[in-house]
Each structure stands twice: as C-alpha cells, then as structure tokens.
Amino acid sequence: MPHPTFTWLHLSDLHYGLKGQHCLWPNLRGPFLEDLTALHERCGPWDAVLFTGDLVQAGKPEEYQKMQEEVLAPLWAKLRELGSGDAVLLAVPGNHDLCRPDPNKGDHAAERLTEPGGYEKVRVEFWEQPAGSYRNIIQNAFAAYTEWWNSTPHRPSALKGGVLPGDFAASLEKQGKKIGLIGLNTAFLQLAGGDYQGRLDWDTQQLHTLCDGGADVWTRQHDACLLLSHHGPDWLSAEARRHGEIEITPAGRFAAHLFGHQHETTLCYLRQGGSAQAARRVQDCSLFGMEKFGDPPQTQRSHGYMAGRIAFEDHQTTLRLWPRIATNKPDGWRFIPDHNNTHLADDQGTAPEIIATLPCKAPISITGTPTPTLPRDLIEFLASAYPEVRDARALWERSGGRALEVENIARPFDLWQNLWRRSNQGAVAQPEAILRAVREDYPGNALIAQYLAAYSANVK
C-alpha cells in the first residue's frame, strides 16, 4: 500500500497587471500548463496550490479579477484534466498585492509608517491597538486583496484569519495524516517605493493568534507543518530575523518555510549547534518576473515554479522538491528542471530530506513505575528548548542534580535521552523535578503540563 503523502504546487510572483504582460504572458501560459502534465506524472496528484505573494502588480481590484479569469481559472481547468482538480488554494500577499497610501493626502499614520524609523517609534501601539489608525492603514492597503481572497474559489472550507490581512491557518487531512499550513503577511510595512531590504518585520503575535493554544500546541496537533510568507528572512530587520529564528521558525517547527520575492530559486537547509533539526528555507522563482538592470536598463525575464511532496514513510518522513525554470529557445519558451540553482536526482527532484516527524498525539498513560525510555515527543521538546550542554546543566542543577552529572554530548536528542534515563534510574534530579523546572520556563506548555500531571499522579 502506498505511503501517505502531501503534495503541492508552489507559485510566486505572478505580477499580473505588469506593463507589457498582457502581450507576453500568453506565450508563457501554454508552455507552463503543458509542463504541468509532465511534472504531474513525476510527483502528482497535487493536494494544494501554494501562492507566496505578488499575485498582481499594483493591488487593484480589476487586477485580481483578471488574474482570476486569465490565470487561476485555466490553471484549475488543467488540474481537473490531470486529476488534481480538488487541490485547494492557499495564498499570502506580497508587496505588490497592496495599494500604497497616497502620500499627498497628509495622513499622519501613513506618513509615520513610511518615514525612516517611523515604525519602530510606534511599534508597540501598532500591535496593541488593532482598531488604531496604524492598523487601519494596513487594512485599507490590502482591501482589494482581502476582497479577492474572501471570494476566490478553491479556498479550504475551514480557514482561520489572523491579526493582519492575509494571515491564515489551515488544517488539511489526507490518508490519515493532518497537515498544518500557516501564512504570514510580511509585506505590511512596504507601503512606499524604495529598497526595503532589512527593514521589514513580522511578529509572534501573528503566529500565535492563528494557533489555538499557541504554536507549540497547534503544530503538535499536525503530522507536518508548512509556513508561507512572501519575503524570506533576508528582507527582515536584524531584530526581526533574530525574533523569527527563536519565536516563529525554530528548527523543527515547520517542515519548510516557503517564500518568493527574489525571483530566483534558492534552497537552504540550516542546522545549528549539531542539532538534527533543520530550518528549511525554500525560495521559489517568479512565475512571471520582469525586472530592469544595467545602464542603460535592460529587461531581464525570469520564470519558474516548483512542486513539493512530503512522504510519510514507515520509519521516516521526507521532503522532496521539483524546481522548474523557463528557457527561451529558438522554438519558443519551455520549462525544464532547474539544474542551475539546485542539485537534482534522475527524476528531476531533490534528494529526499529527512524532516522531523511530529510525534504521535495519543494520550499519555503512565501506570506503575514510569518507563525509563524517554517518550519521543518530550525528548524532542527538551532538545529544542535546552539544546546546549550548558542549558541542560543549568536545568539539571535547578532540579536538584549536580552539573558534573551532565556529560558533554553534542547531539541535543542524545543528551536528553541520556539525562532522562538517569533521572528515571534514581538520580537526585527526579523526572517530576525536571518537569517542574521546565514549567517555570514554559508555563503555558501543554505537553509539559500533561507529563507533569501524569508523574504527579503516579507519585501520589
């Protein structure tokens, strides 16, 4: 019996409405739809179409209407032909999906958000006053996007909105597996022209508002999770990047972070501190990008897209990607595997990347003496929360143990498996004491509360 899978098309940066596009897109549309047939044989059927922003060029209602008619409608007609007509659409807005405030209207809130350093001065007010003038600017800027998004076909039936326009959470089920998808708006500050690299922001409030019980609980309720945004971390401010790495995208929380904006394919699997967990960043090429470079400026066209698959195998869960890039030959445009930016196997996909399998969500039952084998869900949490030996030693000491009892084991998972086994075998740092110390650091964590209740009941 085939293993359960979750598969998708990743599209980005269509820029529908771009000057000159109406004459050029028809020459690319045919090859794109034809290429879907060949790719579908390799990694279909597809369960979702994931669009990471810049669907249109200027955030105008008429652009969204025409984009729906000229791009999405033919796309789903092709998907139905291929047997993927039930694929759902999930999208996040990009910086071209908003309508910029008129600088001549003298709106104080808009002026403050667009002036250099202005957002930092009002950041607290921005996030704490959802009905305030600053947030109203954002709502108005994305009004056309919101109207399109609320009415477009193929959205999942159960979709939760968030703090900002375009934020969403969705849960999809397939073959007994539950997939979580989070979308975050990273374009809300790009309200004017100019270079915004290193100036953008995202906030943990965006994530946790979408996740009932908090992101830790929500992600554990799914077998794998994906994060969508328009911008990658390079476009965030230094503070926002640090904040995101710790609070939004810590290694292991998401199978991958999908984004676009840069108009070229880039894959980055980042592991730090010897951890088995990775932060995987997947930057998609633009489906239709035209930018001018050089002196005199010359138009550079970049077209591509990607497919992806998570496979839930017997002993591991893997991620694979199939990046495509357009090339213009004498016989016209056609899409080929993107060997320029990625290492691909014989089937034109990336090598299987083992991702962290989210643990079984079955209720914990502890009777008699607690087992000395560390439950995988708990050890993964401890390894991510206290990955360094010095962190583990500090927690061990707080639990009544001695620092010298904590060995220098580089892999966090192995380190905590060793410590938990010693704790259950009579060490001074008992399991309940460790769990209570962890609860002090993570007071709202449902997993720790569940294990602590089980151990406390057993002791009594």
Question: Number of C-alpha atoms within 13 angstroms, CB side, residue 149?
Answer: 24
Asked if 347 and 385 sit in the same domain, the reply is no
Query: Are 406 and 292 within one domain?
Result: no
Looking at the structure, do residues 382 and 329 belong to the same domain, yes or no? no
Alpha carbon of residue 179 to chain centroid = 12
pLDDT higher than threshold 90 for residue 159:
yes
To the nearest 10 degrees (0 to 180), the angle between helices 446-459 and 431-441 is 150
Distance CA 371, CA 374 (A): 7
The pLDDT of 86-109, averaged and rounded, is 95
Q: How far apart are CA 350 and CA 265, in angstroms?
A: 13
Give the DSSP per-residue string, 234-280.
GGB-HHHHHHIIIIIS-TTS-SEEEE-SSSS-EEEEE--TT-S--EE
Report whether pLDDT(362) > 80: no
Domain count, the chain: 2
In a domain, 369, yes or no: no
Q: Three-state SS for 310? A: strand
Selection from 82, 74, 93, 77 nearest residue 7 by Cα:
82
Q: Are 99 and 58 in contact (CB under 8 A)?
A: yes
The answer to whether residue 55 scores a pLDDT higher than 50 is yes
Question: Are 338 and 438 members of one domain?
Answer: no
194 and 323 part of one domain: yes
Range in 53-57, 179-183, 187-191, 369-373 with the lowest mean pLDDT: 369-373
What are the start-end ranges of the E strands in 338-402?
353-355
Evaluate whether residue 368 is within a structural domain: no
Same domain, 56 and 159: yes
Q: Answer yes or no: is pLDDT of 165 > 70.
A: yes
Closest CA to 177 of 224, 229, 109: 224
CA count, 13 A, side-chain hemisphere, 213 = 10
Note the pLDDT of residue 300.
61
Place of tokens 């401890």: 382
pLDDT of residue 361: 45
Place of tokens 């839930």: 312
pLDDT at 56 over 70: yes
Does 251 share its domain with 396?
Answer: no
% the chain with pLDDT above 70: 92
- Neighbour-count burial of 244, counting CB atoms closer than 10 A to its CB (0-12 exposed, 13-18 middle, 19+ buried): buried
pLDDT at 171 over 50: yes
- pLDDT beyond 60 at 135: yes
On whether both 454 and 311 belong to a single domain, the answer is no
pLDDT band at 297 (very low <50, low <70, confident <90, very high): low
Q: What is the pLDDT of residue 36?
A: 97
Look at residue 294 in the predicted model and tell me its pLDDT: 47
Examine residue 81 and state whether it is found in any structural domain, yes or no: yes
Same domain, 157 and 285: yes
Please state the separation of Cα 301 from the chain's center in Å: 27
Q: What is the pLDDT of residues 385-430, one digit of tens each?
A: 888 888 898 898 899 888 778 887 777 877 888 888 878 777 788 8
Name the pLDDT band for 275 (thresholds 50, 70, 90).
confident
Do 254 and 400 fall into the same domain? Answer: no
Host domain of residue 101: 5-355
In angstroms, the first-to-last Cα distance of the chain is 46
Instruction: Look at residue 38 and tell me if it is in a domain.
Output: yes
* Amino acid occupying residue 355: I
Condensed to tens digits (0 to 9), the pLDDT of residues 221-230 reads 999 999 999 9
CATH number reported for the structural domain that contains residue 21 in this entry: 3.60.21.10
More confident residue, 299 or 30: 30
Query: Is the predicted pLDDT of residue 233 greater than 60, yes or no?
Result: yes
Report how far residue 267's alpha carbon sits from residue 93's, in angstroms, rounded to the nearest whole number.
21
**Given this model, what pLDDT does residue 301 score?**
63
Check pLDDT > 60 for residue 291: no
State the average pLDDT over residues 285-302.
65
How confident is the model at residue 254, as a pLDDT? 96
User: What's the confidence (pLDDT) of residue 359?
Assistant: 47
Model confidence at 82: pLDDT above 80:
yes
Q: Is 367 among the domain residues?
A: no
pLDDT above 50: residue 358 = no
Average pLDDT, the chain: 89
**pLDDT at 290 > cutoff 70:** no
- Which helix H or strand E contains 25, and what residues bound it? helix 21-43
pLDDT value of residue 372:
41
Is 365 inside any structural domain?
no
Residue with token string 């934020």: 167
Beta carbons within 8 Å of 27's beta carbon, 6+ residues apart: 332, 333
The answer to the question of residue 269 being in a domain is yes
pLDDT at 460: 42
Is 366 part of a structural domain of the chain? no
Are residues 329 and 395 both part of a single domain? Answer: no
The pLDDT value given to residue 59:
97
pLDDT digits (tens, 9 = 90+) for 104-128: 888 999 999 999 999 999 999 999 9
If asked whether residues 320 and 395 sit together in one domain, one would say: no
| Domain final residue, candidates 325, 355, 385 | 355
Tell me: the pLDDT tens digits for 318-356?
999 999 999 988 888 899 999 989 999 999 999 999 985
Whether the bond into 296 is cis, omega within 30 of 0:
yes
